[in-house]
Structure 1
Amino acid sequence: MLWNNFKVAFAMYSKIPMPRADWNKENMKYTFCFFPFIGLVIGALSYLVGWAGEKFGFHPTFVSAFLVLVPVLVTGGIHVDGLLDTSDALSSWQERERRLEILKDSHAGAFAVITACVYFLAWYGAYSQLWTNQPALLIMALGFMVSRCFSGISVMTFPKARKDGTVAEFSRKAEEMTVRNVLILYLGILLVLMVWIQPILGVLAFAAAAFCFLYYHHKAMKYFGGITGDLAGYFLCLCEVTMAILLAIASVWV
């Protein structure tokens, strides 16, 4: 049963090939317990790219660009899609129902394009600074798990803006209390590991993620009346790039 939950998590939120599993209640009870392990794959690959770049003397520009692409290659950009849709909805300054309609619109507006440019440029700048700092890069690698733990907790606990969306479906079929508690346990372990790697950088990165989580809740409740899959993707992207920028800045002095 747990293996099927693992397969559903990776099939839904990554491009990593998985054996087929039925998307029924039994196979989706603990899906979000395995969601952070997609972040583990992204983090491991990112750290490997940084290590290889330094060891074999690749040009910093090439390494930084490849690091930016790793999460997109692993996930297929599913969370970036949420970031861009949410950017269009928030920038519309329409009523709540209209914002929810914009989230479902498959067309990309001007604000989505602008957001995409700013997002990837911010990642590139952050990686250009931090990829040669081994502790900072390792903490960022763990950050991909941290963001998914917080995102999973939001799916289990936050009100849903729509009753028929993907997030609502996963929430209905999940063992919410068990999944939430497992994700909180993961967060505790990740915090300890990040602080063990480098106390100041670890605390700053985790605090940035927690702040983004609170900001995400505020935005979702105020402008949408709850969360959707797009908003969860928006949070994930915002959380990760914020951690990266903060680590890039702090790594100069630490």
Structure 2
Amino acid sequence: MLILETAAVAFSMFSALPVPQPVWNQRNMRYAMCAFPLVGLVLGALWWCWAALCCRLALPELLRGAGLCLLPVAVTGGIHLDGYADTSDALASHAPPERRREILSDSHCGAFAIIRLCTYFVGYFALCTAVDPTEPAALCMGLSFALSRAMSGFAITAFPLAKDTGLAHTFASAAHRGRARTILVVTMLLTGVLMWVLGAIPGTAMTVAAAVVMWHYIRTARTKFGGITGDLAGWFMQRAEFWMLAALVACQQVEELL
């Protein structure tokens, strides 16, 4: 029962999927970040199903790409895109860390957020249209959604936070940090190994891309914000998923040339 409640907490917070709404408490939030990758697995399964359906029905590439591009937004409700937009505004301000954190808390959407979101969707849609949805590639991309969430959860439980309020602080303070970190590290390793088994070169390239984005995320959080926040976590996830897909497409293009 506690396991189901923990999963429900993760899905109710980080997805738009209809799930039971348990009352949050210390017990069912202790390992909520460990259940976060399950949201990615569900999203990955839907991503794979749409790609397979498009191949079976021989649907146009643009229609397939549009579905693959919009599925993450439909499943998550855009919660991570919100963090991406807020962080884009904060980074574009070139202000001190304290002012950047204030911008993250501002409910208004600035010009740079809109510009970066438009740029993101154009690029992501192009990648979704360009990817060859073979079964190994679709499965690797499906697992990438779980990998990005495991990395995000690990960062929240392992690195300093920028403030003692907000979503990241709520989940970090309720978590059993030591055990949660261990579970999330194991999840990352297993997911990375599975991606390598499914596609040795593309899977490895995607994992390396995610690791590089995470390194940049931790460095940015420390130097420009004074720590991690929920908005920064969303910014990281959107960028990790973008560059993992870009790595997959790049590997496929190289394989075609060879």
**Shared fold (TM-score, shorter chain, > 0.5):** yes
Residue-by-residue CA offset, 1:151-195 (whole Å, 9 max, x unaligned): 000010111101011111111111111111111111111111111
The alignment-based identity, stated in percent, is: 39
Letter in 1 for 2:64: V
Letter in 2 for 1:7: A
Q: Secondary structure at the match of 2:11?
A: helix
Q: How does 1:1-254 map to 2 (within 5 A)?
A: 1-254=2-255
Letter in 1 for 2:145: F
Question: How many Å separate the matches in 2 of 1:82 and 1:53?
Answer: 31
Q: Secondary structure at the match of 1:137?
A: helix
Bigger shift: 222-231 or 13-22? 13-22
Question: How many Å separate the matches in 2 of 1:117 and 1:202?
Answer: 28
Residue-by-residue CA offset, 1:35-88 (whole Å, 9 max, x unaligned): 001000111111111110011011110110011000000000000000000000
Is contact 1:50-1:131 (8 Å) kept? no
Question: How many Å separate the matches in 2 of 1:18 and 1:46?
Answer: 20
Bigger shift: 76-85 or 186-195? 186-195
The number of equivalent residue pairs is 254
Per the alignment, do residues 73 and 131 of structure 1 end up closer, same or farther by CA in structure 2, a change over 3 Å counting? farther
Residue-by-residue CA offset, 1:192-223 (whole Å, 9 max, x unaligned): 11111110001100011111111000000010
Letter in 1 for 2:126: G
After TM superposition, give the deviation of residue 14 of structure 1 in Å: 0.4
Per the alignment, do residues 228 and 220 of structure 1 end up closer, same or farther by CA in structure 2, a change over 3 Å counting? same
Is contact 2:31-2:175 (8 Å) kept? yes
Q: Secondary structure at the match of 1:15?
A: coil
Is contact 2:132-2:252 (8 Å) kept? no
Question: How many Å separate the matches in 1 of 2:203 and 2:14?
Answer: 26
Letter in 1 for 2:197: W
User: Is there any run of 5+ residues in structure 2 with no aligned partner, and where?
Assistant: none
User: Is there any run of 5+ residues in structure 1 with no aligned partner, and where?
Assistant: none
Question: How many Å separate the matches in 2 of 1:214 and 1:157?
Answer: 13
Question: How many Å separate the matches in 2 of 1:181 and 1:132?
Answer: 33
After TM superposition, give the deviation of residue 137 of structure 1 in Å: 2.3
Q: Secondary structure at the match of 1:74?
A: helix
